[in-house]
Structure 1
Amino acid sequence: MDKKVKKSERFRHFFQVLWAVITNSYLIGFVRGKIYQGKIKNVCVPGMNCYSCPGAVAACPIGALQATIGSYEYKFAFYVAGFMILVGTIMGRFVCGWLCPFGLIQDLLNKIPLPSKLKVHTFKGDKQLRWLKYVILLVFVILLPLYLTDMIGQGYPWFCKLICPVGTLEGGIPLVLLNEAMRATVGWLYAWKNIILVVTILLSIMIYRPFCKYICPLGAIYSLFNPVSILRYRVDSEKCVNCGACANVCKMGCNPVNNANSLECIRCGKCKAICPTSAIKIQLFKNKAEK
């Protein structure tokens, strides 16, 4: 790998680790086996970080949205939606590449060496499967919690309960291990969620960020803002020599020359670092001449 790319990746991973530590800094929670429930928990973090993680000091926007979307009188739902729109408008899927703890975990898992035949860069149906995260967003995060609510208008967290491996890793496993009472109540659902987690981990070793590509509803939301976000990429056509280096280095399957702000781009910076002519730039706002 190019030295500039390695340097860029090291800096990104350092930032990811730093952000993960900051947003999971309630260390006493891991000792007591209890989650932080202070006032800061009413604030959402930009990335996927489970509310039930013993160290989490803030809430996951997807979990918060599911819990409040069913009530028109519960103003917190508007806050959560507004928060995600604001974050998406400012930076799009930059959150996925730099501010998501589970994204960091997938990055590190994919670095585990395997025979080249087992490392999957793409496969038939890959592009079609990427639409699945939008279906999951619509069905499990919006429609089901919106229409299936309890007596006080709170939606049931269907995505968290049935699918999300982030909650299992960050919240379910630590809390069950630290609480004897919880260990006595686990059943088929806990086993199911652990199966999903194990499959996600194994796939992450073979495929770069499978959860981000195919499952994550938060990534689906932020991806819609990539083409219009304030923070964006631009390819200088006068400097670009069409060498293909940027497309070859992108593990998300993007080609910045064709679309510098693809829905799948997590803005990790590899394309920018490897470009031999420095044709790929970070810019704020969209140029009038930019298509």
Structure 2
Amino acid sequence: MVKRKLVQICTALLYNGNFAGFTTGNIWKGSSKNICLPGLNCYSCPGALGACPLGSLQSSLSGVFLRIPFYVLGFILLFALIFARLICGWGCPFGLVQELLYKISTPKLQRNRFTYLLSYLKYFITLIFLIILPLAFYHFTGSGVPAFCKFICPAGTLEAALPLAFFKPQIRELLGQLFIWKLTLLCLTILAAIFIYRPFCRFICPLGAIYGLFNKISLFGMKVNHVKCINCNLCMEHCKMDCRHVGDSECIACGECRKVCPVKAISLGKKF
């Protein structure tokens, strides 16, 4: 789907429009950093013009003074109600990276019952690393910790830690066991993405988990004309995500189902 790839590339460039940052390693500090971007894109990426919604949410839960992040939640809710996981399929730079890796010619692990069950893992990770651990650290130490960003997020390692370490000797001197751990996770994610379609999005990403909860009620997304539908199930046979039906919580609106539908019963656009 050429149009989707073009949108993904343009979105990645738009998110990371501070091109000078990639040559100097300096993080953009303009007023646009107060605005959350829809997709997963690290705040500390030298090119990033906006904030990552996950990072912003965790920062609010990790300060010395615990506060409910209404501002960040408002951004996430707005994106979710309008687009939901369509953002994952069309507006996430790290999703694009995984899709490009998947194009490498190798045997592929197709979706199956195990991958479907594994897709629930991201909800567990969201609960533990996005909510419980930051609040637990705050309760026991008086200061929270952005647990997902700090201990897991491979997008942050790729987009921020590696470029900053390359340009900043003082940062390289501080790298330790945590960096090695996160670099290992990034390498495993890259390796997995060569054989498995978007493994981070399907099994790990909290943002995808949150957006997925709104897939059925979002304004835009995939929809099926049930009058035309002949229940041939070709849509599900060609789906690379762990969907049970078009537009469910795992659907990223990639449009593969639309391309194979023999009666053109599937469309992408405004649902209501």
| TM-score (norm: length of structure 1) | 0.87
Which residue, 41, 47, 60 being the options, matches 2:39?
Answer: 47
Aligned residue for 2:103?
111
Distance 1:266-1:126 versus aligned 2 partners, 3 A rule: same
- State the shift of 1:242 in Å: 2.5
Per the alignment, in what secondary structure is the counterpart of residue 240 of structure 1? coil
Verify the 8 A CA contact 2:27 2:48 in the aligned structure 1: yes
Verify the 8 A CA contact 1:29 1:55 in the aligned structure 2: yes
Instruction: Check if 1:179 corresponds to 2:168.
Output: yes
Could you tell me how far apart the structure 2 residues matched to 1:253 and 1:74 are?
36
Could you tell me how far apart the structure 2 residues matched to 1:88 and 1:122 are?
25
Instruction: Check if 1:266 corresponds to 2:255.
Output: no
Aligned residue for 1:202?
191
Which residue, 26, 29, 35 being the options, matches 2:27?
Answer: 35
Could you tell me how far apart the structure 1 residues matched to 2:148 and 2:59 are?
11
Q: Which runs of 4+ in 1 moved over 4 A?
A: 70-76
Amino acid at match of 1:263: S
Could you tell me how far apart the structure 2 residues matched to 1:269 and 1:154 are?
44
Which residue, 83, 87, 93 being the options, matches 2:75?
Answer: 83
- State the shift of 1:282 in Å: 3.2
Aligned residue for 2:216?
227
- State the shift of 1:164 in Å: 0.4
Amino acid at match of 1:253: D
Amino acid at match of 1:198: C
Q: How does 1:13-28 map to 2 (within 5 A)?
A: 13-28=5-20
1:50-103 Cα offsets, whole Å, 9 max, x none, are: 011000000000000001035697778111111111111111100000000000
- State the shift of 1:124 in Å: 5.0
1:124-163 Cα offsets, whole Å, 9 max, x none, are: 522221111111111111122234239xx86321101110
Aligned residue for 1:279?
265
Segments of 5+ residues of structure 2 without an aligned counterpart are: none
Segments of 5+ residues of structure 1 without an aligned counterpart are: 1-8, 287-291
| TM-score (norm: length of structure 2) | 0.93
- Note the aligned Cα RMSD (angstroms): 2.2
Of residues 138-147 and 13-22 in structure 1, the stretch that sits farther from structure 2 once superposed is 138-147
Distance 1:188-1:174 versus aligned 2 partners, 3 A rule: same
Verify the 8 A CA contact 1:20 1:101 in the aligned structure 2: yes
Instruction: Tell me the percent identity.
Output: 46
Matched residue pairs, number? 272
Could you tell me how far apart the structure 2 residues matched to 1:139 and 1:252 are?
24
Could you tell me how far apart the structure 2 residues matched to 1:238 and 1:211 are?
35
Of residues 128-137 and 201-210 in structure 1, the stretch that sits farther from structure 2 once superposed is 128-137
Per the alignment, in what secondary structure is the counterpart of residue 138 of structure 2? coil
Per the alignment, in what secondary structure is the counterpart of residue 222 of structure 2? strand
